[in-house]
Structure 1
């Protein structure tokens, strides 16, 4: 129920390896020289090693030199895009800087900031002209990384945090000159609030700073003062399996120290600072347009030993310019039952108890605070939100009103004005820039609706779109489809292929997104992507439509062609006469273009390069596989560039199963495939192995089960899936079925161990950051919502640790020592290694310091590739061929 603080320095850097090496291994070579490749050295070295030169070049390709233009990066005046400049992969020296864990909160305690600002900051900032593509660099301070860059409301300045070794400070850059200046010498406290905010008039910046008279840092007693205490109270508090939890009263005190700060404003010109209110655990701050009020979210006590800090109590308050509390806006209690299914009194996320509270606060240009609030049921009790709140309260009951309210200063009971009233629960509101009208999303009984309402026309609604099977949203940046799990909506209906699009937004007068409205005020705009039923031959196409607000009539502005995948980034004017798009193709790297709506003329804005052409030029096949029970699924096969048909290659399977109730659920996951997509590659792209002579099969095999019992067929489906893939790829002549490896990360790693213990087909496996004993995740995992005691048979059958004696093939495991993912504690790999050692199995375990669930540092990534490649070359590509019975996979059916 607890985990101690984990300062990085306690982690050991040596790899833990147990490898019975074949006598045929080459003699050790210098691992520091990529050209002198030695598998033995790569597998046994207790220091970071490097892979073959071709793999190293792919992993370290300078992807950050390419520019991606986004709507979020476009300035308020729509003249420039602000883009980060990042030179290289982060290093282990950056990740190894000492830090604390406070119930999931990672803190660089030396610099008083969230650890992510230390490990993930950009090296600088650049401006890209939105009409010419001309790029120029902003002068940022030497020796600091940059984070949280924010445009000023007029687009003439950029504020950001400069993260030095010992502190983060506010800098402001002038767009015209590109020069930056430190706004104030005062460092910020960036543990919970990690960005600065402009007031809407552009005169001030708002941040959190350390308290004026900060107390001394708490010190752990030299000798423990008592036992660790954990109690239960008879409530069923079902929680996830967390890697980081508070340990004891000292941990609580230390966390409180590092998250307690003081609200402060800074004059945007002089840098003069004014402290606001008293020190508090400030988790968020949102200033009013004139900076006279602040919407402040506070973390509260009591803390907890069994859930992370995001479940601790919170209170949202309205403060005046002196820090005096004007009103309490919302309150959330401690949530110690964070996955549902228990019986505690505090509601979990999305559960009953909060649906009558004020919600979705937004500042309006006149300084009013808008919010939504649903009335209580007639008997005064709260009811759950979502669809259940949109139907009558009980049989024959009246619908509960949901209201959009504007609350003006002085924020008392008499200064509220109802702007909109609805019989359905409102899903979201997007105001026009002048806030005289708004677009509203509602979802009732499976029907999504977006409508417009003018506040001077009470009761009138103008439908923008209404469609069954689509989830409506506004102002969130999400697409037109939602819900229904990984397969999208439950019905494979016409609606999916008639995506009406999402309302286009621009920065509003308060800094929050506002709907883009045409210069005459009569139209809004929708953009999105439409997919084709025949996705294997026809690519999706981006579009932009103008929609008349009062009639709903749509006029197409743009539709992407069939020769490239083209999507809208952002318009550069209110009439949508010129707009920026991104274009890409199977062999064409994505680039930004300026498109003229009237003439269709394209002006190239970026000159991105294909930084990994050897990866782009690999041969790719989409192979349909049919199981013995008739279920079909897709396998993506990647082959060497010079592959000749019929050549049987050593195969590497990389997979990640998903659960479905039926075949249609799986089919729905395929319909967003894009044949015009440029093949993207990251540092951990497993298809790089094709450059080393492997046929790489990457797939998400389906596991089918009834609702609530999805995993009861997991082992049988796993076997059936692997049999089908091997037989089909063998039939097509891609693989040598006697030289096969299998691997995966996280749930894919867990499935890899199950493949090696429940099938005999693989010479080697690679499993990373996995969980191999499901009794260690007793309250559920992945899509499994039953606990261990409700589904004990399934939990045990799915635990490869219990079948470790049946493992076939040589197993390489890797695990990040600071893995924060729910349910994949490193102890799982350590105990599995212990078991395999006692069973005399061929195995290795590499544990990486400072890394989280997804390895990120250059040293770790190269080291992993070196050991993966050496392992597969040894046990798959060059291993002794194991005699197999003809059609041996059939025996498993």
Structure 2
């Protein structure tokens, strides 16, 4: 008998937020937000957000700043009205980025290292908080207070926790959501609402134009973006909510000094003294075929009056070279999947690591120097020119470390150091008189120091092999100075420190062991300061004093959650945090790792999580949760396994599928590698998928762990896509769970995931990989869910709607749950609880209750 339901939650949030669903004999068709079985609900709501991480150390190294989370956001917070303007989502009432409305905190806390005392900084009445920033002397914390209709700058006393609002003028945290102290600790830089801002444009009740899109003269390969501007009203709204006033507020008086005129400011990076600013502004015209993150922009240096002194670089409108090609399950909530690249990209000279093709005169690694002297950057020496302006024949050009001083004219650029080889990176000591540089020489990464008092002498500190099989080298340990800039830590005896990880030959027997080495600059002599134990996984976080003989490490094991410890690196230590295991019942589950061999000879790993096994008990129904990935050969896959860490604590989240083991299922997580030649890996997608799953089932059945007649499979994003493919191309599964997936590759014709060919270049591959086109072969009952505001590239909600349509037309068993306000992955507490209720009911019905 055919069963199906299409439950779409479209009711206003107020009617459902926090509502408890009435008892229902059929959770699949209940039109309400449901609660799962009580054991699952306890796992989902476990107070994991109360565990803390000590990472934000004050400049004086005496205190840590910790954000106090409230856990999962509510559906009510997601439902607050907002506009989506080409991927730029704005809470229109509060005039702030929607992420700040949805993802914020209940307050902060300060932890004193010496005393172990906690000082709470509660959110001011009627607000939530975001963006805590230490003052340069470590005595105060600046943060953004978020009320229902505005955002303001607050400052808290680190010793007492008392806070006050600094300025009455509200911020405009739409594009720029952070605030920054100046080095004197007397001022804070932010982007504010413009004076005389006027009323915001509103969507038209009656449209005055059709939506239109026109091709461009050039050939552009466009991703399937989730949101684009569509009308002139959209453009006006984007312009309004992006136009802010750069300002510097006096912390003592609250007076805001305006810097220049209001502009569409995308980012701001003030010089440490607050007298100059790197500012990126958005350029018109806008576009209807690319998201707003791909609009043109220019980066300039402004003075304290807002006058542009120099143009750093400029990018025209158009798709960016690193637009995300994946249907990623890991896109953080609320992040625009499109990213940026400049028309003048960074280029490494001969001997350096290439990062793009661009004019050789381009400035690379540009940033404010830690001492505030100006902008630091890397640049090749100018090419010699023959008569007529043509490049003269010459050998490799020297690479240079440059300093660009105010007022940032061409004549204000001076050479600090130059090398015959290409420089990959430069870091500075606290006084900026010692440079730490990396170069690539004969396939090895070389780190060396240069004192500006004697630039002709190099002090080699580390030499390490590069390449896929090389042991990872250590990285120089740095810290933030009083201006918030990164500087290299130099300890007693003029020693620097390298933090890295030692990997064993067999990761199943030897866990990774992080270490810290001390290296004397003058001699290159190296000694091991600290290393993780072999039995537990310990990581070095930072040094806690000027002598670098006290530090903070974080320790965890398969049975102990991560906790922070003070150490003197000589065996004496003190526990600083008391993080608890939020789900001990899950921690106690048995986990096995099994290497499986396919019929074609390829091998891969499978993780299986089991309840406590009893001799003679029946084989378990199993739920497969997976996410296939592509590799060129066995060796490239095996390299990923070298980073396996058997000493990690099994952290859980609100949607961790291990909770199903508590319901009597085995959880199977196969790696599922797809092998093929570079550029053509997906030509074998279906056969590799089938071979992976068949080999996994055979191996686990042979060990008596699963019942192959009671199997289900699931995944999110590309995993959901692969779940549907598994159910149409194999006979193994009675049920499936697929979330936020794509089911028709014809809807992503310009490439997807790691597939860089277009539909017209690989037509058969696109067609074969589209489960919608094989829906008549669907085996088992498929549950689909999708966020109705999914902003991920390639996974528009229409995919799930059309897949459901096909399955209904073909008489298959399916359900579809569409969740309002949700993005690419569930976020609201009500949504997650409801999903668990339906997941458990679905699996119980088609696996446990099925004959």
- The answer to whether the Cα contact below 8 Å between 1:660 and 1:702 also exists between their aligned partners in 2 is yes
- The answer to whether the Cα contact below 8 Å between 2:21 and 2:32 also exists between their aligned partners in 1 is no
In the alignment, the residues of structure 2 paired with residue 442 and residue 864 of structure 1 have an alpha-carbon distance, to the nearest angstrom, of 51
What does residue 411 of structure 1 align with?
408
- The answer to whether the Cα contact below 8 Å between 1:576 and 1:597 also exists between their aligned partners in 2 is no
Cα deviations across residues 737-783 of structure 1 (Å, max 9, x unaligned)?
10000010010100000100001111000011000110111111111
Cα deviations across residues 872-892 of structure 1 (Å, max 9, x unaligned)?
000011112xxxxxxxxxxxx
CA shift in 2, pair 1:132/1:671, >3 Å: farther
In the alignment, the residues of structure 2 paired with residue 351 and residue 670 of structure 1 have an alpha-carbon distance, to the nearest angstrom, of 29
User: Residue 596 in 1 paired to residue 568 in 2?
Assistant: yes
Cα deviations across residues 647-689 of structure 1 (Å, max 9, x unaligned)?
4000101111111010011111111111111111001111110
Once the two structures are TM-superposed, the CA of residue 376 in structure 1 deviates from its matched residue by 6.2
What does residue 372 of structure 1 align with?
378
In the alignment, the residues of structure 2 paired with residue 262 and residue 662 of structure 1 have an alpha-carbon distance, to the nearest angstrom, of 53
- The answer to whether the Cα contact below 8 Å between 2:743 and 2:772 also exists between their aligned partners in 1 is yes
Cα deviations across residues 201-256 of structure 1 (Å, max 9, x unaligned)?
11100000111121332234443333333222342201211101111222111101
Once the two structures are TM-superposed, the CA of residue 575 in structure 1 deviates from its matched residue by 2.4
- 1:860 maps to which of 803, 806, 831: 831
Aligned to 2:248, the other structure's residue is in SS state strand
CA shift in 2, pair 1:575/1:646, >3 Å: farther
Q: What TM-score comes out, normalization by structure 1 length?
A: 0.87
Aligned to 1:456, the other structure's residue is in SS state coil
Q: Bigger shift: 303-312 or 42-51?
A: 303-312
CA shift in 2, pair 1:89/1:439, >3 Å: same
Alignment of structure 1 residues 694-709 onto 2, 5 Å: 694-709=665-680
Once the two structures are TM-superposed, the CA of residue 415 in structure 1 deviates from its matched residue by 2.4
Aligned to 2:622, the other structure's residue is in SS state strand
What does residue 537 of structure 2 align with?
565
Aligned to 1:352, the other structure's residue is in SS state coil
User: Residue 179 in 1 paired to residue 150 in 2?
Assistant: no
In the alignment, the residues of structure 2 paired with residue 446 and residue 139 of structure 1 have an alpha-carbon distance, to the nearest angstrom, of 53
User: Residue 798 in 1 paired to residue 765 in 2?
Assistant: no
What does residue 230 of structure 1 align with?
213
Q: Bigger shift: 207-216 or 256-265?
A: 207-216
What does residue 488 of structure 2 align with?
515
The CA RMSD measured in Å over matched residues stands at 2.4
CA shift in 2, pair 1:773/1:354, >3 Å: farther
CA shift in 2, pair 1:397/1:716, >3 Å: farther
Aligned pairs, number: 812
- The answer to whether the Cα contact below 8 Å between 2:315 and 2:342 also exists between their aligned partners in 1 is no
- The answer to whether the Cα contact below 8 Å between 1:335 and 1:347 also exists between their aligned partners in 2 is no
In the alignment, the residues of structure 2 paired with residue 176 and residue 440 of structure 1 have an alpha-carbon distance, to the nearest angstrom, of 39
In the alignment, the residues of structure 2 paired with residue 66 and residue 746 of structure 1 have an alpha-carbon distance, to the nearest angstrom, of 29
CA shift in 2, pair 1:766/1:294, >3 Å: same
CA shift in 2, pair 1:591/1:402, >3 Å: same
User: Residue 263 in 1 paired to residue 246 in 2?
Assistant: yes
Once the two structures are TM-superposed, the CA of residue 564 in structure 1 deviates from its matched residue by 1.3
- The answer to whether the Cα contact below 8 Å between 1:311 and 1:334 also exists between their aligned partners in 2 is yes
Q: Bigger shift: 639-648 or 559-568?
A: 639-648
CA shift in 2, pair 1:366/1:764, >3 Å: closer
Q: Bigger shift: 833-842 or 401-410?
A: 401-410
In the alignment, the residues of structure 1 paired with residue 406 and residue 420 of structure 2 have an alpha-carbon distance, to the nearest angstrom, of 28
Cα deviations across residues 437-486 of structure 1 (Å, max 9, x unaligned)?
121223466432222122222243222212222xxxxxxxxxxxxxxxxx
Cα deviations across residues 36-89 of structure 1 (Å, max 9, x unaligned)?
6x5x4321111110110111110110111111122xx11111111101111231
Once the two structures are TM-superposed, the CA of residue 375 in structure 1 deviates from its matched residue by 4.8
In the alignment, the residues of structure 2 paired with residue 627 and residue 377 of structure 1 have an alpha-carbon distance, to the nearest angstrom, of 56
What does residue 299 of structure 2 align with?
316
- The answer to whether the Cα contact below 8 Å between 1:440 and 1:450 also exists between their aligned partners in 2 is yes
What does residue 33 of structure 2 align with?
48
What does residue 581 of structure 1 align with?
553
In the alignment, the residues of structure 1 paired with residue 827 and residue 251 of structure 2 have an alpha-carbon distance, to the nearest angstrom, of 36
- The answer to whether the Cα contact below 8 Å between 2:557 and 2:647 also exists between their aligned partners in 1 is yes
What does residue 528 of structure 1 align with?
500
User: Residue 872 in 1 paired to residue 843 in 2?
Assistant: yes
Cα deviations across residues 785-829 of structure 1 (Å, max 9, x unaligned)?
000011001010101010000000000000100111110000011
Aligned to 1:684, the other structure's residue is in SS state coil
What does residue 46 of structure 2 align with?
61
Aligned to 2:722, the other structure's residue is in SS state helix
- The answer to whether the Cα contact below 8 Å between 2:313 and 2:344 also exists between their aligned partners in 1 is no
In the alignment, the residues of structure 2 paired with residue 683 and residue 590 of structure 1 have an alpha-carbon distance, to the nearest angstrom, of 18
Once the two structures are TM-superposed, the CA of residue 372 in structure 1 deviates from its matched residue by 2.2
- 1:628 maps to which of 599, 611, 618: 599
Aligned to 1:160, the other structure's residue is in SS state strand
Cα deviations across residues 601-655 of structure 1 (Å, max 9, x unaligned)?
1101011111101110111111111111111111110011355476400010111
Q: Bigger shift: 176-185 or 802-811?
A: 176-185
- The answer to whether the Cα contact below 8 Å between 1:330 and 1:358 also exists between their aligned partners in 2 is no
In the alignment, the residues of structure 2 paired with residue 822 and residue 229 of structure 1 have an alpha-carbon distance, to the nearest angstrom, of 21
User: Residue 32 in 1 paired to residue 20 in 2?
Assistant: yes
- The answer to whether the Cα contact below 8 Å between 2:136 and 2:183 also exists between their aligned partners in 1 is yes
CA shift in 2, pair 1:222/1:405, >3 Å: same
What does residue 330 of structure 2 align with?
none
- The answer to whether the Cα contact below 8 Å between 1:13 and 1:848 also exists between their aligned partners in 2 is no
Once the two structures are TM-superposed, the CA of residue 378 in structure 1 deviates from its matched residue by 6.0
CA shift in 2, pair 1:210/1:191, >3 Å: same
CA shift in 2, pair 1:832/1:507, >3 Å: same
- 1:160 maps to which of 139, 143, 160: 143
- The answer to whether the Cα contact below 8 Å between 2:624 and 2:714 also exists between their aligned partners in 1 is yes
What does residue 719 of structure 1 align with?
690
CA shift in 2, pair 1:218/1:772, >3 Å: same
Once the two structures are TM-superposed, the CA of residue 428 in structure 1 deviates from its matched residue by 2.2
- The answer to whether the Cα contact below 8 Å between 2:800 and 2:816 also exists between their aligned partners in 1 is yes
In the alignment, the residues of structure 2 paired with residue 113 and residue 714 of structure 1 have an alpha-carbon distance, to the nearest angstrom, of 43
In the alignment, the residues of structure 1 paired with residue 425 and residue 526 of structure 2 have an alpha-carbon distance, to the nearest angstrom, of 22
Alignment of structure 1 residues 697-776 onto 2, 5 Å: 697-776=668-747
CA shift in 2, pair 1:645/1:746, >3 Å: farther
What does residue 368 of structure 2 align with?
363
Aligned to 1:406, the other structure's residue is in SS state strand
In the alignment, the residues of structure 2 paired with residue 31 and residue 55 of structure 1 have an alpha-carbon distance, to the nearest angstrom, of 18
Alignment of structure 1 residues 261-660 onto 2, 5 Å: 261-336=244-319, 338=321, 351-353=356-358, 356-364=361-369, 365-375=371-381, 398-443=395-440, 446-469=443-466, 489-490=467-468, 492=469, 495-496=470-471, 499-520=472-493, 522-598=494-570, 600-641=571-612, 643-644=614-615, 647-660=618-631
In the alignment, the residues of structure 2 paired with residue 113 and residue 311 of structure 1 have an alpha-carbon distance, to the nearest angstrom, of 20
CA shift in 2, pair 1:143/1:642, >3 Å: farther
Alignment of structure 1 residues 30-109 onto 2, 5 Å: 32=20, 40-70=25-55, 73-109=56-92
CA shift in 2, pair 1:525/1:348, >3 Å: closer
- The answer to whether the Cα contact below 8 Å between 1:528 and 1:568 also exists between their aligned partners in 2 is no
Q: Bigger shift: 313-322 or 850-859?
A: 313-322
In the alignment, the residues of structure 1 paired with residue 450 and residue 206 of structure 2 have an alpha-carbon distance, to the nearest angstrom, of 66
In the alignment, the residues of structure 1 paired with residue 112 and residue 324 of structure 2 have an alpha-carbon distance, to the nearest angstrom, of 53
Q: Bigger shift: 816-825 or 306-315?
A: 306-315
Aligned to 1:543, the other structure's residue is in SS state strand
Once the two structures are TM-superposed, the CA of residue 340 in structure 1 deviates from its matched residue by 8.9
What does residue 642 of structure 2 align with?
671
- The answer to whether the Cα contact below 8 Å between 1:240 and 1:339 also exists between their aligned partners in 2 is no
- The answer to whether the Cα contact below 8 Å between 1:236 and 1:337 also exists between their aligned partners in 2 is no
Aligned to 2:692, the other structure's residue is in SS state helix
CA shift in 2, pair 1:327/1:402, >3 Å: same
- The answer to whether the Cα contact below 8 Å between 2:314 and 2:344 also exists between their aligned partners in 1 is no
- The answer to whether the Cα contact below 8 Å between 1:289 and 1:510 also exists between their aligned partners in 2 is yes
Aligned to 2:262, the other structure's residue is in SS state strand
What does residue 349 of structure 2 align with?
none
